[in-house]
Amino acid sequence: MTAPNQPLPPLPPQLVKEIDAALARLESSEPAAAGPHWGAMHKLLLKAKVDPHALMRVVGSRDLGELRRAVARAKGEAVEDAAGVSGAAGGAGAAVAAGAAGAGGAAAQEFDVALLQEALRHFRKRLKLSQLDADSRLGHGPTSGTGQYRIQSMVPPRDYPQAVWEALVRAGKLRREGDGFYSIVEQPGGAQW
């Protein structure tokens, strides 16, 4: 790994081609089906020695603009960060800029109600499946002494951008629990949406 203020070493031409192709695939894919493309891009940028912490913030928030800046930094190009700081290295300043871009960009986005309903359904289904998986494990029951526990919150599925989950928080459907976990807000009278 390089130090935060040091420029990244030049990338091999084959890796640059792979990164460009992965970025093109990601840009042309539907957001709900882009998960594998984000994973492939994450692996390629780790090969390019991009700061893993900054990269996780970009991939976790599904911020395509910040991803383009990270790719340009990895190629050694001078990049104007979201915070207005120009630089060629992807270090601590880039990580802060990535976090600020993810938070500011998410607050400005509005989503279709149908997309939010679909994401909430997906969240409920994953939560239910996680609970069923936990219930099926050995060590639960009257003779084991451990009892069953209820899964109250989880990290949301990566099938949707982080901004969708924040929009559901603003709509009062989910509650932030900290460390990237969300829980379902129980609606009065059992109303689902």
Which of 91, 108, 125 lies at the terminal end of a domain, its last residue?
A: 108
pLDDT of residue 61: 76
Q: Give the confidence band of 82 by pLDDT, cuts at 50, 70, 90.
A: low
Judged by DSSP in three states, 59 sits in: helix
Which two tokens mark 4? 């935060």
Structural domain includes residue 3: no
Please check the confidence at residue 174 and state whether its pLDDT lies above 90. Answer: yes
The answer, yes or no, to whether residue 91 has pLDDT greater than 50, is no
Sheet holding 153-154, edge to edge: 153-154, 181-184, 174-178
Task: Identify which of 2-6, 53-57, 125-129, 158-162 has the greatest average pLDDT.
Answer: 125-129
Residues 51 and 87 sit within 8 Å (Cβ to Cβ): no
pLDDT score of 107 more than 80: no
Give the number of domains in the chain.
2
Kindly state whether residues 46 and 94 are assigned to the same domain.
yes
Q: Are residues 36 and 62 in the same domain?
A: yes
pLDDT grade, residue 143 (50/70/90)?
A: low
Q: Is residue 151 part of a domain?
A: yes
Please check whether residue 80 is in contact with residue 86, taking contact to mean a CB–CB distance below 8 angstroms.
yes
- Sequence-ordered alpha helix ranges (H) in 4-138: 13-28, 35-47, 52-61, 64-74, 92-108, 113-135
pLDDT of residue 90: 39
The mean predicted confidence, pLDDT, of the chain is 74
94 vs 148, residue with greater confidence: 148
- Structure letter (DSSP) for residue 160: S
Q: What is the pLDDT of residue 13?
A: 81
Mean pLDDT, residues 104-128 taken together: 79
Q: Is residue 66 domain-resident?
A: yes
Q: Are 78 and 97 contained in the same domain?
A: yes
Would you say residue 130 has pLDDT above 80? yes
In a domain, 5, yes or no: no
Residue 47 sits in the same domain as residue 94:
yes
Tokens 């559901």 sit at which residue?
168
The amino acid at residue 37 is H
Most confidently predicted of 76-85, 99-108, 118-127: 118-127
Write out the residue range of the structural domain in which residue 31 sits: 13-108
- Pull the structure tokens for residue 86: 């120009």
Q: Are residues 165 and 129 in the same domain?
A: yes
Q: Per DSSP, what are the bridge partners of residue 184? A: 174
- Which residues, at least 6 apart from 168, have a Cβ–Cβ distance to it below 8 Å? 116, 119, 120, 123, 174, 182
**pLDDT of residue 9 exceeding 60:** yes
Q: CA-to-CA distance for 174 and 170, rounded, in angstroms?
A: 8
Q: Which two tokens stand for residue 95?
A: 């990580």
Q: Are residues 89 and 37 in the same domain?
A: yes
The C-alpha atoms of residue 120 and residue 75 are separated, in whole angstroms, by: 38
- Antiparallel, parallel or unpaired: β 174-178 and 181-184: antiparallel
Q: State the pLDDT confidence band at 103, using cuts at 50, 70 and 90.
A: very low
Q: Does 123 share its domain with 63?
A: no
d(CA 39, CA 22): 10
pLDDT for the residue numbered 168: 92
Which residue would you say has higher pLDDT here, 124 or 134? 124
| Averaged pLDDT for residues 87-96 | 36
Whether 131 and 63 map to the same domain: the answer is no
Both 51 and 79 in one domain: the answer is yes
**pLDDT score recorded for residue 106:** 38
